[in-house]
Amino acid sequence: DGYTVAILGATGAVGARLIQQLEQSTIPVNKVKLLASYRSAGKKLQFKGQDVTVEEAKPESFEGVDIVLASAGGSVSKKFLPEAVKRGAVCVDNTSAFRMEEDVPLVVPEVNEAALYNHHGIIANPNCSTIQMMVALEPIRRAFGLKQIIVSTYQAASGAGQSALNELYSEAQEYLDGKDMNSDIFPTKGDEEHYPLAFNLLPQIDVLEDNLYSHEEWKMIHETKKIMLGDMNSPEIKVTATCVRVPVPISHGESIYIEVKDKSATTEKIQELIRQAPGAVLEDDPKHQIYPQPINAVGKRDTFVGRIRPDLENEGAFNMWVVSDNLLKGAAWNTVQIAERLVADNLVHN
């Protein structure tokens, strides 16, 4: 007679979409618990037209909960998800806290749904930029094999949370009013220097590491290998990334260059694969200026693919442009989609 579902981080940018995607999902929901910090306790949100009071998350909050959807930050997941598992819940975690743990499946259902069968209570939702790249590239990998992926991202402000999105808007207003822009969040909250994002580009997402890559770039490389090949360090596909924050509110863009193994690949064959691919939509008609744009992807569950074209000098290599709503397929929808599969495959209680 339905499941009790808890949303951890219900008041955030992703949390709002988790509520909405759960409302629209096939999961029979008996009861929903909305959890956030003490700051939001007592606040009222709606689920399917009913008021639900937000509670401060505590270990006891997970008593009697079947499914946890978490998006309140890595440290919050680290603190609470083991408590939820102890109480018998299965957790789908949108943070990076558990993604690289051996016994935690990292899942994009279009690619590696079968990994769900090995879960031990926690399933990780990949990074937003990784997810949309997987939806676009997995059908190509299956048909032609992949040797190398070179990706540059154009990532929306909302990927850093609701307060970051608010900062972009206030900076834009300050700039247009001829005032100094106040920047406290970008490029990344915990770092020393802060720079404006409005009317700017920031080639830093998450912290810059000693290996000269940002942590976001590191995630794209190793998550891709774990999802596609089952091993975060597999040498089978070479992956490299440059991640850039752009002053777009919602939806990430990605310029992706791939080298395939099978040289019979053509632009037309790749277009046909994308047309058939679950979760992907081909928007590729240069004659009519049709290509994916962040503005058009907002609110959609799909990943949009266009500008597919062969490298003119390197045979078996292609460029493409991929856009998706980072808060939906990149976060809330992939999380709820995983939960739908857990329910459908009878994997909620193990």
Q: What is the smallest separation between the CB atom of 317 and ligand A2P, expressed in angstroms?
A: 37
- Helix, strand, or coil here: 336? helix
Residue 339's nearest CA partner among 329, 348, 350 is 348
Among 30, 53, 163, 173, binds ligand A2P (CB under 6 A): 163
Q: What is the smallest separation between the CB atom of 28 and ligand A2P, expressed in angstroms?
A: 25
Tell me if the bond preceding 187 is cis, omega within 30° of 0. Answer: yes
Set 91, 119, 128, 243: catalytic member: 128
Name 7's Cβ contacts closer than 8 Å, sequence gap at least 6: 15, 18, 19, 22, 32, 33, 34, 35, 68, 69, 70, 71
| 128 is an active site residue | yes
Closer by beta carbon to ligand A2P, 11 or else 335: 11
Query: What residues numbered 191-210 form the site for ligand A2P, per CB under 6 A?
Result: none
Query: What residues numbered 2-41 form the site for ligand A2P, per CB under 6 A?
Result: 9-15, 36-37, 39-40
- Alpha carbon 89 to its chain's center: 22
Contact predicate 245/134, CB 8 Å: no
Contact predicate 92/335, CB 8 Å: yes
Query: What residues numbered 44-83 form the site for ligand A2P, per CB under 6 A?
Result: 57, 72-73, 76
The DSSP secondary structure of 12-64, one letter per residue, reads: SHHHHHHHHHHHTSSS-EEEEEEEE-GGGTT-EEEETTEEEE-EE--GGGGTT
Among 162, 234, 242, 271, binds ligand A2P (CB under 6 A): 162
Phi/psi of residue 93, each to 5°?
-105, 120
Taking CB under 6 A as the rule, does residue 292 contact ligand A2P?
Answer: no
| 119 is an active site residue | no
Q: What is the smallest separation between the CB atom of 39 and ligand A2P, expressed in angstroms?
A: 4
Q: What is the smallest separation between the CB atom of 31 and ligand A2P, expressed in angstroms?
A: 19
Q: What is the smallest separation between the CB atom of 294 and ligand A2P, expressed in angstroms?
A: 19
Name 174's Cβ contacts closer than 8 Å, sequence gap at least 6: 180, 181, 182, 198
Taking CB under 6 A as the rule, does residue 161 contact ligand A2P?
Answer: yes
Closest residue to ligand A2P using C-beta atoms: 12
Tell me the catalytic residues: 128, 252
Q: Give contact residues for ligand A2P (rule: CB under 6 A).
A: 9-15, 36-37, 39-40, 57, 72-73, 76, 161-163
